[in-house]
Every structure is written in structure tokens, then in C-alpha cells.
């Protein structure tokens, strides 16, 4: 997975477990694309301090995913919902009820995972 996408997902899921300060600095660097120097000045810390904080936050967020695997679980579910959505389009294109049979199968599998 691309690093920025992975960071976004991890932050979406576990970001609330960071401190307010960590969230603010992390967001500015990773999502708002400020430079380390700009952020260092803004929060009155050293560039190295900003760098260490980002590294630490990435480790914290990855640590939660390593234990809980909830991003992974959600991504699997999202993929299956995408398949269901494609199958409804295919049904309206072709009228093939096999599409609905497959939707039934996927939704059954999902209910087992959940």
C-alpha cells in the first residue's frame, strides 16, 4: 500500500488515541503538507523534534494495527461491498440472476466474518 494512503487509514482508525499535540503536528506534516521547518516554528520545537514525533506517531499507529488488525478487517469488508456493488450493476446490464446468487454468497461470507 502507498505510504500516504496507509498513514491516512491508520490515522482515521486510531488517530484519536494520539494526544492533541501529536495529532496537530502529525496532521500538519502528513496531511497538510507543511515542511518540518514550518511546523517546527509553529509549535516551537526543533526540526528533529518534529521528525521524531512523526516517527513515534507512525510507530504508535502501526502498533495498534499490529495488535487489532481493524484496518485490515475493514479493507476486506470494503472490497466485498465493492464486489456486491459491481454485481448489482452487472445484474441491471444483463438481467442475470447469477449476479444475485453471488451477492447472496458474499453477504453470507461477510456475516460470518463480522
> Which residues would be at the binding site for a second copy (CB under 8 A)?
13-14, 16-17, 64, 67-68, 70, 74, 77-78, 81-82, 84-85, 88-89, 91-92, 97, 99-101, 103-104, 107-108, 110-111, 114
- Toward a second copy, which CB reaches closer, 42 or 74? 74
- Toward a second copy, which CB reaches closer, 4 or 77? 77
Q: Measuring CA to CA, how many Å separate 77 from each of 25, 33, 112, 113? A: 31, 30, 11, 9
Q: How far is the CB of 21 from a second copy (least distance, A)?
A: 16
Cα–Cα distance, 4 to 11 (Å, whole number): 10
- Sequence-distant (≥ 6) Cβ neighbours of residue 39 within 8 angstroms: 25, 28, 29, 50
Q: How far is the CB of 39 from a second copy (least distance, A)?
A: 24
- The answer to whether residues 27 and 4 touch, using CB atoms and an 8 Å cutoff, is no
Q: How far is the CB of 44 from a second copy (least distance, A)?
A: 27
Helices 47-68, 36-43: inter-axial angle, 10-degree rounding: 100
Q: How far is the CB of 83 from a second copy (least distance, A)?
A: 9
Amino acid at each position: 500500500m502507498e505510504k500516504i494512503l496507509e498513514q491516512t487509514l491508520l490515522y482515521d482508525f486510531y488517530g484519536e488515541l494520539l494526544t492533541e499535540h501529536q495529532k496537530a503536528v502529525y496532521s500538519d506534516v502528513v496531511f497538510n503538507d507543511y515542511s518540518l521547518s514550518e511546523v517546527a516554528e509553529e509549535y516551537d520545537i526543533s526540526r528533529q523534534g518534529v521528525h521524531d514525533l512523526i516517527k513515534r506517531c507512525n510507530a504508535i499507529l502501526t502498533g495498534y494495527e499490529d495488535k487489532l488488525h481493524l484496518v485490515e478487517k475493514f479493507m476486506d469488508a470494503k472490497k466485498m461491498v465493492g464486489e456486491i456493488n459491481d454485481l448489482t450493476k452487472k445484474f441491471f446490464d444483463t438481467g442475470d440472476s447469477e449476479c444475485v446468487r453471488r451477492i447472496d454468497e458474499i453477504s453470507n461470507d461477510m456475516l460470518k466474518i463480522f
